[in-house]
Structure 1
Amino acid sequence: MKMIKAVIRPELLYEVMEALEKEGFTGITVIDVVGRGREGGLQVGEKRWPEVAKVLLMVAVEDDKVQQVVSLISRHAHTGMVGDGKIFVCPLEEVWTIRTKSREVRL
């Protein structure tokens, strides 16, 4: 299993979520975050913002679904401008359900 973490523009959140849900990826966690990339923030004219508002999506998937989810997020979060975001793929060792106190064998 893998945990896919995508930092995207907030205005594209619902487009990305709809695309994921349409393909059957309904388990999505969304967190409002702020941060900056290599550019060190955003500058428009004389005004500078050292941190920029983004959204962090987290989706746990089976290994064979990673490329599909990365492609969906990439396609629907892309504007071609600086600040489109990043996608991180991390190993996911275990998943536990709090209500049942049981270990998930599949997602």
Structure 2
Amino acid sequence: MDSIFHEKQEGSLCAQHCLNNLLQGEYFTPVDLSSIAQQLDEEERMRMAEGGMASEEYRTFLQQPSGNMDDSGFFSIQVISNALRVWGLELILFNSREYQSLMINPIGLT
């Protein structure tokens, strides 16, 4: 590697900049991350519909804004996790059992 890639922060696109800096290149755009967020939104709608499309919970869910993205440039941790999977990478949550086992033995990957 000849140099370190650094994508300067613009607006509130923290997820995009974080991913591109981690991957060392311009791999994700806001449009790419929005597409992932929309896929997640659709999956959530389908799962909520399984409980009945006439249910109060489903109607309330449909009235809420997306929890995966907003107009400010926010993208959820689920969007970031799915974006990393494109590269065969897995995001390990801080409070997960897997992370806790790594803290016990940080060199040994489980």
TM-score bracket for the superposition, by shorter chain length: under 0.3
Q: Please say which structure displays the higher CA radius of gyration.
A: 2
Higher relative contact order (CA 8 A, sep 6+): 1
Greater strand proportion: 1
Greater helix proportion: 2
Instruction: Give the alignment's TM-score, normalised by structure 2.
Output: 0.27
